[in-house]
Structure 1
């Protein structure tokens, strides 16, 4: 057991810092604020592999020309229940937000809408965008192609697939909304990066080296690959998600995927897809959400294995973290804080203000 200290930052301070850094990298102020809000939301829900830990990488790509500071996001295909958006190599947060808002608008008219993106970039955790729809009492499904290939096809060793995540959000009446957010690999690569920054080992089952042995040192992740969830089933899931979010939209997939961890200047042509369903087109919203609440109660109150205190629903623990971090501060690991301090000095902005420390026990 090792104990690693983390600094704490209020959501407001973190938002201020991220926004200042992006403005210093010459992003328009409004875009910087919108991206900062989504990045802070990622950290607040515990998605620390996709939040402020990515800031230095984003700035590096922006300054290297790998991301367009002032994109002209536009539709390249438009029908009543679908669209394809070209992100003009802008920040993924902006591109996917535009796609999600359009899908919500179209779903109000058609009952269901599918909007895909091309020429986008890394956009943070999938659940951010699924939750935008569920906040409108709609159902959302989100697919994305990851920004680096970390997984081979089942039985192979060539890295031809990414973590390719999926998120599904379903509204409730009084319960916490059901929000599933998962990679098609045993873990998201961002969690590997977060482990490295905290000086922690990975559990067996996350990665394997090219000889088939478990890989637990996150600093040696280049020596192996991520494992799919459920063996060959996870491989199949990663493949079809990549086709739906990448190939279908004219975005990168397979050998075309650019590893943005190692290449800061090449366009990634990242693809994402968001599907939004208006519950009212299928059922009475009140009846549906009440039925979901009943189902949740049945699951939560079902018989438990010895030693299990609570059965959790997807999204519940993230909701609890949002409230806890809003009140007590967002943990920022010392490794990430060092990177942010270096970035602040590089950009000639004030360093992130932290107000306390917390100790976390890590196996």
Structure 2
């Protein structure tokens, strides 16, 4: 899958190393179960590259603004490439200062938030990530206009050789990518995901998602969280927010000016990493072994299923729906590369 995505992106003008890196981060989303943000998005990225909405060979640069602060100028490159540079910068600064706040602008959709929050883990650092989502699908609490995105929050905590603690949540009940996945499979959505923007009634037909708005997680609290995360990733970075956000699902040509934030925190500045990991493991064990409600077979902590799924998919492969395989086969033919089925 990585080689296929890299070949397709290289055929669209990306430098081979950039194509490989973007493909690696894209497929990492598939391996960890974020199917709506993995290779599923490749046809959309290709459309934007072809239409001029994203630049195949960006000149991504870094400006150091303070001892622990930097800005990455993405030059309208693919979001995965911008975030790869952002993570490298954050880790480098956090090694010096103990913590780094790195903003990014001039970027694009970058897939799964957890993938980028996890990039500092290899350096023994906590990663915290947010972004202004690449389309608005939520109204401010009590409103009907889509002026807020699903603006996610992802936090990854290193655990040495054990599975990291990874929280990755949209500020809506589900991401819009999940809605698109249901549309691709022709599967109805459960009530509680979307409402009709005109009537406020539940909307369960994913083919009509353009008529609805996603509901925030936790009611007004999720709406407020989406707002403040968006302000930090948008206006603070001089990136798009609110009415300025371009719906990249409907517009392949317009530059999106997507903004991200990645924070890296060096655990070793607080205490010995092994001692920290042991203490976290002790508390996680307490939580998992605590009393359960009737009908609950297992208390899960953030990142457990993600890690289990990754091990399973590395060993047995990634399930891809027939409709998606058909789209990827068509993409392979257009790009002149070998399709997945022949690899």
User: TM bucket by the smaller chain?
Assistant: over 0.9
Report the structure, 1 or 2, having the larger strand content.
1
1:265 equivalenced with 2:253 (yes/no): yes
1:92 equivalenced with 2:72 (yes/no): no
Partner of residue 109, structure 1: 96
Partner of residue 162, structure 1: 149
Partner of residue 19, structure 1: 6
Q: 2:234 aligns with which of 243, 246, 258?
A: 246
Aligned residues: 342
1:323 equivalenced with 2:304 (yes/no): no
Q: Deviations over 1:52-71 (max 9, x none)?
A: 11000000000111111111
Partner of residue 189, structure 2: 202
1:124 equivalenced with 2:111 (yes/no): yes
Could you tell me how far apart the structure 1 residues matched to 2:144 and 2:276 are? 45
Unaligned runs of 5+ in 1: 1-13, 356-363
Could you tell me how far apart the structure 1 residues matched to 2:290 and 2:207 are? 41
Q: CA deviation at 1:284?
A: 2.1
Could you tell me how far apart the structure 1 residues matched to 2:173 and 2:239 are? 24
Aligned partner of residue 129 in structure 2, secondary structure: strand
Partner of residue 214, structure 2: 226
Aligned partner of residue 283 in structure 2, secondary structure: helix
1:149 equivalenced with 2:136 (yes/no): yes
Q: Structure 1 residues 293, 173: CA separation in 2 closer, same or farther (over 3 Å shift)? A: farther
Could you tell me how far apart the structure 2 residues matched to 1:284 and 1:99 are? 26
Could you tell me how far apart the structure 1 residues matched to 2:18 and 2:27 are? 14
Q: 1:78 aligns with which of 55, 61, 65?
A: 65
Could you tell me how far apart the structure 2 residues matched to 1:111 and 1:189 are? 35
Report the TM-score, using the length of structure 1 for normalisation.
0.92
Partner of residue 360, structure 1: none
Q: Spell out the pairing of 1:125-140 with structure 2 (5 A cutoff).
A: 125-140=112-127
Partner of residue 244, structure 2: 256
Alpha-carbon RMSD across the aligned residues, in angstroms, is: 1.2
1:340 equivalenced with 2:328 (yes/no): yes
Structure with more relative contact order (C-alpha pairs < 8 Å, separation 6 or more): 1
Indicate if the aligned counterparts of 2:124 and 2:160 stay in contact, CA closer than 8 A: no
Report the TM-score, using the length of structure 2 for normalisation.
0.97
Unaligned runs of 5+ in 2: none
Partner of residue 62, structure 1: 49
Q: CA deviation at 1:77?
A: 4.5
Q: Structure 1 residues 201, 59: CA separation in 2 closer, same or farther (over 3 Å shift)? A: same
Could you tell me how far apart the structure 1 residues matched to 2:156 and 2:281 are? 14
Could you tell me how far apart the structure 1 residues matched to 2:81 and 2:49 are? 14
Q: CA deviation at 1:173?
A: 4.5
Partner of residue 9, structure 1: none
Partner of residue 52, structure 1: 39
Aligned partner of residue 99 in structure 1, secondary structure: helix
Q: CA deviation at 1:76?
A: 3.7
Could you tell me how far apart the structure 1 residues matched to 2:266 and 2:151 are? 25
1:190 equivalenced with 2:195 (yes/no): no
